[in-house]
């Protein structure tokens, strides 16, 4: 059985082997081996450690050398340095031209200038594309908002002219914005095939004809005795009961009550 190189204690170890171990300062025991440095595993480990120490020493010396070299630039003016480098480059270019390398030098400078222009152009193009996307998004949003306002105004005017209950105007406007939109500055209604939508009379639908058809299908939307020609719902305030007021957000859930007059939207 191979002996362990390190033991925490000698408990359970044959007493005849105790003399082979030396107690360490930390309280453990290590196997006292003669010629351990000649062991193959030890030799390999020593080689690795020596190589690592050599590399560390070289890296430290290189870092120190670099730090010393950089000290001379501590008080260097960046602008002056650029000017100096520019002059050095001009001198080198002059020497190369004197040596007949004009064509090669010209090609290098053209390539360098082209690269700078391309990088600058690419950066500007990316900036413009980002800005254009943002502007396009904002413009589309503004156009849609303007379209909704324009449709809403036209429907409101047509609804008031035909005696639609004021409490139901918002509901009518909301439905109309699903039908009408603005194209080339004009309000129109288009079907799924992008053709003009027709009203009940077979004519091109307008806000006026839309409201007229709406009142025909929903007579309770008309004010009592409005004189609009559409059937009125009469004054049905709810069998003498009190009128209940709701918020605009609750309108879609109280259509019947709004139509009968029992419910009104609180402005």
pLDDT at residue 221, as a whole number:
84
pLDDT at residue 237, as a whole number:
43
Does the pLDDT at position 13 exceed 70?
yes
- Name the more confident of 71 and 186: 186
pLDDT at residue 240, as a whole number:
45
- Name the more confident of 166 and 109: 166
pLDDT at residue 184, as a whole number:
81
Q: Which residues pair with 6 in a beta bridge?
A: 30
The mean pLDDT value for 238-255 works out to 65
pLDDT at residue 35, as a whole number:
60
Please state whether beta strands 180-183 and 21-23 pair in parallel, antiparallel, or not at all (unpaired): unpaired
pLDDT per position as a tens digit, 182-210: 888 788 898 878 888 899 999 999 999 99
pLDDT per position as a tens digit, 113-171: 777 777 887 888 888 888 777 777 777 777 778 788 888 888 888 888 888 888 888 88
pTM over 0.95, yes/no? no
Does the pLDDT at position 101 exceed 80?
no
pLDDT per position as a tens digit, 213-241: 998 988 888 887 654 444 444 444 444 45
Averaged pLDDT of the chain: 75
pLDDT at residue 209, as a whole number:
93
pLDDT at residue 22, as a whole number:
86
Top-confidence range, 34-48, 147-161, 242-256: 147-161
């Amino acid at each position: 059985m191979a002996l362990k190189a390190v033991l925490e204690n000698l408990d359970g170890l044959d007493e005849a082997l105790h003399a082979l171990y030396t107690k360490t300062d930390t309280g453990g025991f290590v196997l006292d081996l003669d010629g351990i440095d000649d062991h193959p595993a030890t030799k390999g480990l020593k080689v690795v450690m020596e190589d690592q120490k050599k590399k560390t020493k070289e890296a430290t010396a290189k870092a120190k050398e670099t730090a010393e070299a950089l000290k001379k630039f501590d008080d260097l003016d960046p602008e002056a340095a650029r000017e100096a480098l520019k002059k050095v480059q001009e001198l080198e270019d002059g020497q190369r031209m004197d040596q007949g390398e004009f064509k090669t030098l010209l090609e290098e400078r053209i390539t360098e200038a082209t690269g700078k222009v391309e990088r600058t152009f690419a950066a500007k193009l990316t900036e413009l594309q980002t800005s254009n996307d943002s502007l396009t998004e904002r413009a589309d949003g503004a156009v849609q908002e303007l379209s909704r306002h324009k449709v809403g105004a036209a429907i409101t005017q047509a609804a008031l002219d035909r005696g639609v209950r004021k409490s139901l105007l918002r509901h009518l406007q909301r439905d109309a914005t699903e039908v009408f939109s603005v194209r080339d500055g004009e309000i129109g209604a288009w079907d799924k095939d992008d053709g003009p939508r027709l009203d009940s009379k077979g004519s091109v639908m307008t806000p006026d004809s839309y409201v007229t058809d709406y009142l025909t299908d929903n007579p309770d939307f008309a004010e009592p005795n409005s004189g609009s020609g559409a059937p009125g719902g009469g004054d049905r305030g709810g069998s003498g009961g009190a009128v209940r007021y709701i918020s605009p957000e609750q309108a879609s859930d109280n259509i019947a009550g709004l139509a009968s007059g029992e419910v009104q939207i609180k402005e």
